[in-house]
Structure 1
Amino acid sequence: MATQTEPLIETPGIQDGAAVWRIARDSRVLDLNSPYSYLLWFRDFARTSAVARGERGTPVGFVTGYLRPDRPGTLVVWQVAVDGAHRGRGLAGAMLDHLAARQAARGVRYLETTVTPGNTASDRLFTVFARRHGAALERQVLFDAGLFPDGHDPEVLYRVGPLS
């Protein structure tokens, strides 16, 4: 099994849904989806997602993603989170690198995600990811705040690629 400094990063399974939901909830940053949605996600989109496992094999981080139906060469990263006890070690970047390498073998050359203004951790994560992969990074508002019914901040689309 992996050590705390070297977590095992692999494809998630439905058995990881509850733990990932707790990581998302405890992040206090992510929009929390229902526990059911994480189970469905890992049933239907496991190949385009990743989980990092700690010493005991339990999830300590995750990335959820899917391939855009109208652009199958583009991986959309939905959520990235790391358990509080494992932050600051580069785990989020390692999970993104792992997932990008897995998807490159399937012809994926672009990564998209959305980041709310003021989320400096996510901005830094994807900016550094683009630099590390020698890729361009384009930003533009995808969903203006007025589209949300609950006062949500706008979501800015980050498009990274082509990945090398």
Structure 2
Amino acid sequence: MSPEQVRRPPPRASVVDIGFGPPRLEDGRHLWRVARDSGTLDLNSPYSYVLWCRDFAATSVVARAEDEVCGFITGFSRPEDPGTLFVWQVAVDADWRGRGLARRMLDHLADSGARFVEATVTPGNTASDRLFASFARARGASLRRTPLLSADLFPGDHDPEVLYRIGPLDS
């Protein structure tokens, strides 16, 4: 089945039917499709998503329903701070939104031993702000927001990026 022909979930599908695990090499094209269809993420090349599935599978997660990708989080351990998981992208297929998948994927990743979680969020991205605030509250961890990347660092029309740092997390 091509990424364009992903079967849609039944209307009452439960999050119980969804499994979480590391991405596989062949998932790269599906990650690219979900990111593209989000309409909000900066879209990377298909090549980068395939390589991400190879090189950063241990710090990323895919949500699957009947072996179909319905969401993902890509992340990596910061080279200068290996105890910090940096969340690169969070995406949930439109038909699977509103089921708590992003939060469950973030919990899945954090349970693998990170002491801190970082991400950058553009001002006005309420979905990401709510996700990370909810995660911090549930973990009893502090959430610090600090300006990180100003808009003038990016080509074209790009909002600034605010660093969200959550932790320390219980191990």
TM-score (norm 1): 0.94
Are residue 24 (structure 1) and residue 30 (structure 2) matched? no
For residue 45 of structure 1, report the CA deviation from its aligned partner. 0.2
For residue 150 of structure 1, report the CA deviation from its aligned partner. 1.1
| SS of residue in 1 equivalent to 2:90 | strand
Q: How many residues align?
A: 157
Distance in 1, matches of 2:54 and 2:151, equals 31
Identity of aligned residues (%): 61
Distance in 2, matches of 1:142 and 1:38, equals 24
Distance in 2, matches of 1:92 and 1:62, equals 8
Alignment of 1:44-63 (within 5 A): 44-54=55-65, 56-63=66-73
Kindly provide the amino acid, as one letter, of the partner of residue 111 in structure 1.
Answer: V
| SS of residue in 2 equivalent to 1:66 | strand
Match of 2:90 among 67, 73, 80: 80
Alignment of 1:1-164 (within 5 A): 4-5=13-14, 6=16, 7-54=18-65, 56-102=66-112, 104=113, 108-164=114-170
Distance in 2, matches of 1:19 and 1:110, equals 28
Kindly provide the amino acid, as one letter, of the partner of residue 65 in structure 1.
Answer: G
For residue 79 of structure 1, report the CA deviation from its aligned partner. 0.2
For residue 74 of structure 1, report the CA deviation from its aligned partner. 0.2
Distance in 1, matches of 2:97 and 2:152, equals 33
For residue 146 of structure 1, report the CA deviation from its aligned partner. 1.1
RMSD: 1.0
For residue 158 of structure 1, report the CA deviation from its aligned partner. 0.1
| SS of residue in 2 equivalent to 1:52 | strand
Distance in 1, matches of 2:53 and 2:156, equals 28
Distance in 2, matches of 1:120 and 1:152, equals 17
For residue 58 of structure 1, report the CA deviation from its aligned partner. 0.8
Stretches (4+) displaced over 4 A: none
For residue 149 of structure 1, report the CA deviation from its aligned partner. 1.5
Alignment gaps of 5+ in structure 2: 1-9
